[in-house]
Structure formats: structure tokens, C-alpha cells
Amino acid sequence: MSNLQLEDIEAVSLSPALVVEDDPAMRERLAYVLSTLGCDEPQIAWADSVTTAKELLDARSFGVALVDIGLPDGSGVELIGWMRALHPKVPAVVVSAWRTEEVIFAALRAGAIGYLLKERDDLELSIALRSIEQGGAPIDPAIARRILGWLAAQQPSLSAVLAADAPPPLPLPVALTPRERKILELVAQGLSNRDMAESLSISRLTVECHTKNIYRKLAVTSRTEAVFQGRRHGLLR
């Protein structure tokens, strides 16, 4: 069991940012997303290859690095592992279209603190990246669901033992409303804000408001933490 405590998790600054991406259209998107978070163009360094990224990291300091997986001269996973060894103070967040379990777990094992999918819209990417400023780990909902499923499948017998010996669910200081509980259930299923809005026939803004209330009541900063605390408090099966 790790000795890492919640107070040991440091908040991350999004500025200055290193963006390792070779697709011009995606670079433009990320420039816009970062600008909405207070990181303007002069505070962003661009690299279209592993080699250029290493040169920039050796030359200056960055608050965060957004790294694609597929790069012309190598893999983003390789770069993240190199960063962990030589530049451990620069956190890496994957922003990629790759979603195979092999790549996801390789990136996380290499040292990535988050994994986001390019298919999400700009607002969803912005919300996810903002969470790391409070020490959160931005994991795409679909990725989080696969990780949770993988963990649950690893030791089913241990899970059964722990469930049998588990204490009664802890009551929440402020109870979730029925709508908030429904949204928490959808979060646990890996739905995005857009998918939840369509499923419940409400606006995405309303989903975001409910999500913020859920985070506040559960005292969490990410979807993965919300699902964990939801199970801990008996709100999810």
C-alpha cells in the first residue's frame, strides 16, 4: 500500500505549458483551450516531435506538458518516461486519440498524471485541465471506466472479502439530490457531460452545475474520486 497522502498531491500550474503535438488543427484547438485557462500564446512552447520536446525541456522550465502519443520520431510514452527520469517536476498529461488499454496503461505507468481523448470538445478539455490546478488527475470518463473495470477484474475474490468486512456506508454531511445521484451513476458509467445531457434531456450547463455540486458535497476534484467516494458512501453499487 502506498504511503502517499492527499496532502502530498501538489497542484499543477498550467503556465508555461509545453504542447507536444504534430497536428496543426489540434495545436490550434489546444492553444484556444489553454487560452481559456489563462495560458496565452507567449506562455506556450510547441514541439512536433520527441526530439524537439526534449530540447525544450532541457532548455527551460514548464508547469505542465500536454503530450500526444503518436509522434513522427517516436512515442509520447517514451517521452513521458524520459521526463519522469530527467524532469520529474514537469507533470505530463496525455491528449491523444489512442485509447487501447496497452497504450493507456503504458502511459500511466511511464508517469502521466492524466489521459484525455482528443474527441472531447473544447469545453470538456478545458474543465479537465483546470482540475489539475487543484491537484486533480484529469482522466477521460471513458478511460476512467476502463481503468475501474480493469481494477475490479484483477482481484474479484479480494473485493468480495473486503465487501463482506466493510463498515456501513458513511453518511454524507449534505445529501445528494435525486438528480445528483442519477448524474453520479452516469459518471460511474463513463458518460461525458454531453452524453448525460442528452440522456436526461437537460442542457450541458445544467449537468455541469450538478457535477460541481456533487464534487463539493463529496469533497473531490475529479470524476474518478467522485465514483470512489460515491461507493464509499453507499451511493453506488
pLDDT at 87: 95
pLDDT at 9: 45
The mean pLDDT of the chain is 85
Cell numbers found for residue 10: 501538489
Q: Per-residue pLDDT tens for 32-76?
A: 999 999 999 999 999 999 999 999 999 999 999 999 999 999 999
Domains along the sequence of the chain with CATH = 9-140 (3.40.50.2300), 165-232 (1.10.10.10)
pLDDT at 168: 62
Rounded Cα distance, 40 and 36, in Å: 8
The pTM of this model reads 0.63
pLDDT at 142 over 80: yes
Q: Per-residue pLDDT tens for 109-133?
A: 999 999 999 999 999 999 999 888 8
Q: Per-residue pLDDT tens for 159-197?
A: 555 555 555 666 666 789 999 999 999 988 888 888 899
Beta bridge partners of 113: none
The 3-state DSSP composition of the chain as helix, strand, coil percent (nearest 5) reads 55, 10, 35
- pLDDT-derived band at 231, boundaries 50, 70, 90: confident
Question: Contacts by 115-122 with C-beta closer than 8 Å and gap 24+?
Answer: 115/139, 115/140, 115/143, 116/140, 117/142, 117/143, 118/26, 120/192, 121/194, 122/29, 122/32, 122/33, 122/36
